[in-house]
Structure 1
Amino acid sequence: MADADVRTAEPSDAAEIARIQLATWRTAYSELLPAEVLDGLDAAETERQWQETVSHGPASVLVATEGGWTVGFCAAGPAPEQETAAADGTSPSDADAVILVSTLLVEPRWGRRGHGGRLLGVMAQRLAANGARRGIVWTPEADEASRAFFHSVGWTPDGTVRTLDAGGRPIRELRLSGSLDLRFEQE
């Protein structure tokens, strides 16, 4: 494998981040999301949104590289209160120390090479250095690969679920939670 690294995303990375997101969704979620939703994703708008996020937050964005290629990215930051609440709406005692991993994607052709783990590991270290202690992520219940990845670092379902409308198709998501002191396990 060529040299692999993780670095802070720059505004000039927005186009590549958007390309990776769209390519990954169209590959990995082709059976989960309706074709019209995937076909309707707009590359220019996605790039604009990532340009805004990279430049102004609120999430921190990292990119994974291998050789001269950008192969994946992770966006995470302080979790909004509504994202940390229990199913009954109560806020956890550690809400101010919880981060939300809003996106962690590695382009499928670059998968199984450790990029996801490097992205999450660097992000967890950076956010923990600023006082965060726990992370959460929402994953589609049907996305076994993502659930297995997060399970490998010690994150498990915390009992909170939500259902999103994806072009008229309900998508049930599980919230996974775990320490930012990651423990990577081989499956």
Structure 2
Amino acid sequence: MDRVSGADVSVRVAWADDAPAIAAVQLRAWPVLYAGLVPSEAFPSGPEAEQAAAAAWVESLQKPGDARNRVLVALERNRVTGFAITGPASDPDRDPVADAELRELTVDPEEQRRGHGSRLLQAAADTMTADRFTLAVTWVNVGDDALRAFLTGAGWAADSAHRELDLDGSGTTTVKQVRLHTRLA
């Protein structure tokens, strides 16, 4: 389907009512994000998975834990096309008062390359700046060249930190990540 140029697109803070749409985007994006790392049958799918993910999102949106934890949604008209999560940095070598973390930047795989990611990234940076953070960090899967190129093109750079996550708790499904950082205005 072709998109109409000049479509009504925006980014705003997520509401609890957005939880089902955010969950749907996340469940569609995970198999793409972790392709080749996690077997496709390991990803939750179906109505029960969507309901459980939506319930988790409602809880998260209603009780963020820290006032600086934010979820932003990219919209085309009133349809959620992606989301970003920001908050205080959680790494032990970062200062959670001055340093923020872009915890997730996800655009629906069918909506990529339409500007939603750029709008989300700019809104996330503006939000972190408004929350008085001066530096932001994010973790990127080593093999995710597209996301890494997108972020470095926006001024993010590797800071030499790296980690390996155990995705299933058994040590058999791991993902290597590098940390990127940027100064906030």
TM-score (norm 2): 0.85
8 Å CA contact 2:23–2:53 kept in 1: the answer is yes
Identity of aligned residues (%): 34
User: Partner residue of 2:35?
Assistant: 30
Deviation sequence 1:158-180 (CA, Å, 0-9, x none): 11111111232221011111122
**3-state secondary structure, aligned to 1:96:** coil
TM-score (norm 1): 0.84
8 Å CA contact 2:37–2:174 kept in 1: the answer is no
**3-state secondary structure, aligned to 2:23:** helix
| Structure 2 residue runs without a partner (length 5+) | none
User: Partner residue of 2:10?
Assistant: 5
Aligned pair count? 172
CA deviation after TM superposition for structure 1 residue 123, in Å: 1.8
8 Å CA contact 1:37–1:166 kept in 2: the answer is no
159 and 47 in structure 1: CA distance in 2 versus 1, 3 angstrom threshold:
same
8 Å CA contact 2:88–2:96 kept in 1: the answer is no
CA deviation after TM superposition for structure 1 residue 84, in Å: 5.0
1:1-150 to structure 2, matched below 5 A, reads 1=5, 2-39=7-44, 42-57=49-64, 58=66, 59-80=69-90, 83-85=91-93, 92=94, 95-150=96-151
Cα RMSD (Å): 1.8
| Structure 1 residue runs without a partner (length 5+) | 86-91, 182-187
The reply on whether 1:176 has 2:180 as its aligned counterpart is yes
Paired with 2:70 and 2:148, the residues of 1 have a C-alpha distance of: 22
User: Partner residue of 1:89?
Assistant: none
116 and 171 in structure 1: CA distance in 2 versus 1, 3 angstrom threshold:
same
Deviation sequence 1:80-129 (CA, Å, 0-9, x none): 2xx151xxxxxx5x552111111110101111111111112112112212
User: Partner residue of 2:157?
Assistant: 156
Paired with 2:44 and 2:57, the residues of 1 have a C-alpha distance of: 19
CA deviation after TM superposition for structure 1 residue 28, in Å: 3.5
8 Å CA contact 1:84–1:98 kept in 2: the answer is no
Paired with 1:152 and 1:32, the residues of 2 have a C-alpha distance of: 25
Runs of 4+ in 1 over 6 A off after TM superposition: none
Paired with 2:70 and 2:44, the residues of 1 have a C-alpha distance of: 28
8 Å CA contact 1:32–1:142 kept in 2: the answer is no
CA deviation after TM superposition for structure 1 residue 34, in Å: 2.5
